[in-house]
Amino acid sequence: MSRTSSRRRRWCGWARLLPAAALSLAACARAAAAGPLEKEMAELARQVMGAVKDRGNAVQVGEFVAKGDVARHGATGGPAIAKSLMEQLEKMGVQTTRSAELIVSGEFRDVTDKASKTTALMIKAHIEDRQGEPIVDLASRGVFDLTTIASLTGITLVAPPKAAPAEREKAVNDALDNIRPPCVEGTRISARAGSPYSIEVLVGPDPGDATPDLQTYRPRAATLDKDGLAFVNIRRGEVYAVKVSNRADHDVAVTLAIDGLSMFAFSENKEYEVVIVPKGQEGLIPGWHITNERSDAFHVSEYARSAAAKLLPSSSSVGTISVSFKAAWPADAEPPADEGAVNERSRDADATARGKPVDPKDTRYNEMTRSVGKLRESLGVHYNRSVEPADLPDSKPK
């Protein structure tokens, strides 16, 4: 490849705040198997296992740092890479602990794969001891899935689904080579002007030991920095939610990630990948999905309240909210007219998403079956974990 706190922040019973029909969950067909990042981290984990098996069979998973073009985009997907590697190591019987004598860490950057001539995200790793003495450089791995790349890097991307593969590839290259500022209209953020898909970041005060109250959340305006990156100032300790609007004439499958970590990263259901927002509607995602009835609030300075989250390395003072959009439609219906050929080979189509129905009276989310198309748009919004925010608007979340 070449080229350049113990605090309680848990939500329960939100049906009164947003109709259950407005947000649904779908588990993509591929979820039964490993996802793109998980497959590559499984291969990397095998290399790590071979290096540490005679040295305590334990390793500390350190940081994975953005390099190259993705660093200019402010990519903060390292925690997602670290979490995936930790999970694969644990499956292989390798203990991941901060007390291990060996540390595995690395970097990720965008590259052009020499064989396929397509853009990929290369993940490199090495193992060293606690004195910083190198032990071994591991063979790099490559991620080609566009949604995964967007989640890990936070790039703003517009890739018309009906365009020829070469045109879509050029759109990806251009998005990585040059920072494309998202369209910011007050509190509303979208990948381009006139897009039917947009988000708003709603911020609430530090709840302390209390349960966060969505009624105290307010939309917070984003600004573009001198390089064109979108920022929302969120004070350390504050909580936030993400409102997604879909003004298209089709349902949309939304992938939401925080520092590359899917909103389902700590869910008890490991098959969920996307949230479905029906056409002409909007939905509020209040936090990390744990079950269909419960989530942990998105909180600046820590991830979800799980043991796995506490082990994730992250020294960055900047966080990234990444959102990707794909058309979704019933499995027995025709795709949107602008979807293009749904049977052509595509490195970002998810095929069919399946789920069992859940009573909407008793749950925050429904499950549904939807076919999911190609990645259409993605955007990234950064937040500084320590900067004082501007005054909040007076409007309340719908």
Residues 145-169 pLDDT 10s: 999 999 999 999 999 999 998 999 9
- Record the pTM: 0.84
- Please report the pLDDT score of residue 275 as a whole number: 92
CATH of 36-144, picked from 3.40.50.10610, 3.40.50.2020, 1.10.3720.10, 3.30.565.10, is 3.40.50.10610
Is it the case that residue 379 has pLDDT exceeding 80? yes
- Please report the pLDDT score of residue 299 as a whole number: 85
Torsion of CA 252, 234, 292, 282, to 10 degrees: -30
State whether the Cα torsion 307-310-313-314 is positive or negative: positive
Separation in Å, CA 142 to CA 1, 81, 114, 115, 322: 9, 12, 12, 12, 20
Helix (H) / strand (E) containing 61 = strand 58-66
Residues 57-75 pLDDT 10s: 999 999 999 999 999 999 9
- The domain limits of the chain are 5-32+156-393, 36-144
Separation in Å, CA 315 to CA 7, 65, 131, 326: 21, 10, 20, 32
Give the pLDDT mean for 168-187.
94
- Please report the pLDDT score of residue 32 as a whole number: 46
- Please report the pLDDT score of residue 23 as a whole number: 67
- Please report the pLDDT score of residue 11 as a whole number: 44
For residue 328 the two structure tokens come to 């979704």
Residues 189-244 pLDDT 10s: 999 999 999 999 999 998 888 888 888 999 999 999 999 999 999 988 889 999 99
Q: Check: CB of residue 179 under 8 Å from CB of residue 72.
A: yes
Least confident of 10-24, 60-74, 117-131, 172-186: 10-24
- Please report the pLDDT score of residue 15 as a whole number: 28
Q: Which of 209, 200, 205, 210 has its CA nearest to residue 238?
A: 205
Across all residues in the chain, what is the average pLDDT?
83
Distance, CA of 202 to CA of 281 (rounded, Å): 17
Give the pLDDT mean for 158-184.
93
